[in-house]
């Protein structure tokens, strides 16, 4: 498979067109950004770790029957993915209060949600990815009523599968963000699943094992990502 031109370059990844119209190459960069890109660093080794972790987690979901865009790991920092029609919506699932929810609602971090909270955000950097109600998603024509229900169902299914898998590896799945696309009218899970897009806490110590280490300048970033890889590949 030959890389042609980048179709889309984000903060942490590049999506390349290939000579195969059905497939793309998703390249993981070393760039770490936070707070709308105002904090930005290159972290040697991050791309490779996120590609490995994402490949494992997509493989897990595929084995459990979840339709994803993941085809195969191609190289250290690249995976082959199916070409999808982009849906500009981010779906966040929260099991434990953290991050923007704590700030927005003034609640205490660590509060548990049973059942989990599902949220939608508009994928639009210029608007700072605003939160959307289901009514907004429908009114803006981003998804139909049926697709909204399906997005929630799929996101909660991913939460159940990953939550259990990680619990067995002594990791609490605090929250995460998913992106879906359409292929032949069907919703397919896309993007990545990594410590950049999830919050992972050590179940015994509470230690932060995700991008919050970068956001909060906690140090030990690569060590934490490495530990996540060790646990998900064991
Ligand atoms: P938040 O607390 O900042 O809203 O983030 C919730 C989860 O979604 C967290 O696991 C990080 C992830 N996330 C992304 O992957 N990309 C984003 O742009 C944002 C805002 C959050
Ligand atoms: N919003 C993302 C984050 O902080 C990345 C960014 O803002 O650049 O997780």
Ligand 2 residue neighbourhood (C-beta within 6 Å): 11, 33-37, 211
Find the helix packing angle between 46-63 and 221-232, rounded to 10°.
30
Both structure tokens of 51:
């590609």
**List of long-range contacts for 21-25, beta carbons under 8 Å, 24+ apart:** 21/83, 22/82, 22/83, 23/71, 23/80, 23/81, 23/82, 23/83, 24/80, 24/81, 24/82, 24/83, 25/1, 25/74, 25/78, 25/79, 25/80, 25/81
Q: How confident is the model at residue 121 (pLDDT cuts 50, 70, 90)?
A: very high
> Which ligand is located closest to the Cα atom of residue 93?
1
Looking at residue 164, what is its pLDDT?
A: 98
* C-alpha dihedral sign at 191, 197, 203, 204: positive
pLDDT tens, 24-51? 999 999 999 999 999 999 999 999 999 9
Q: Give me the mean pLDDT over the 154-175 stretch.
A: 99
pLDDT at 224: 98
| pLDDT at residue number 41 | 98
The dihedral formed by the CA atoms of 119, 36, 43 and 100, expressed in degrees to the nearest 10: -40
Q: How confident is the model at residue 150 (pLDDT cuts 50, 70, 90)?
A: very high
Please report, for residues 8, 133, 187, the alpha-carbon distance to residue 28 in angstroms, rounded to integers and kept in the order given.
12, 31, 23
* Closest approach atom of ligand 2 to CA 36: 7
Calculate helix-pair angle for 46-63, 145-167, nearest 10 degrees: 110
| Tokens describing residue 59 | 């493989």
Which atom of ligand 1 lies nearest, measured to the CA of 175?
10
In ligand 2, the atom with minimum distance to the C-alpha of 197 is: 9
Report the pLDDT value the prediction gives residue 77, as an integer from 0 to 100: 98
Q: Given pLDDT bands bounded at 50, 70 and 90, which one contains residue 14?
A: very high
193 falls in which pLDDT band (50, 70, 90)? very high
Q: What is the mean pLDDT of the chain?
A: 98
Tokens linked to 120: 């939608």
**How do residues 166-188 score in pLDDT, each as one tens digit?**
999 999 999 999 999 999 999 99
Give the tens place of pLDDT for each residue, 87-106: 999 999 999 999 999 999 99
């Amino acid at each position: 498979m030959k890389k042609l031109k980048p179709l889309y370059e984000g903060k942490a990844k590049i999506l390349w067109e290939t000579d195969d119209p059905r497939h793309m190459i998703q390249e993981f960069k070393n760039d770490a950004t936070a707070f709308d890109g105002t904090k930005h660093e290159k972290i040697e080794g991050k791309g490779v770790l996120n590609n490995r972790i994402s490949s494992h987690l997509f493989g897990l979901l595929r084995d459990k029957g979840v339709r994803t865009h993941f085809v195969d790991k191609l190289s250290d920092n690249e995976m082959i993915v199916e070409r999808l029609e982009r849906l500009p919506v981010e779906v966040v699932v929260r099991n434990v209060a953290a991050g923007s929810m704590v700030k927005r609602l003034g609640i205490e971090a660590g509060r548990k949600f049973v059942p989990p909270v599902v949220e939608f955000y508009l994928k639009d950097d210029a608007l700072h990815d605003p939160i959307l109600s289901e009514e907004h998603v429908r009114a803006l024509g981003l998804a139909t009523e049926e697709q909204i229900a399906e997005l929630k169902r799929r996101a909660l299914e991913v939460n159940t599968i990953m939550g259990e898998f990680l619990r067995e590896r002594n990791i609490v799945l605090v929250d995460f963000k998913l992106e879906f696309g359409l292929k032949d009218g069907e919703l397919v899970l896309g993007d990545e699943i990594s410590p950049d897009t999830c919050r992972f806490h050590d179940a015994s110590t509470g230690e932060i094992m995700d991008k919050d280490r970068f956001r909060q300048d906690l140090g030990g970033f690569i060590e934490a990502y490495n530990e996540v890889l060790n646990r998900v590949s064991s």
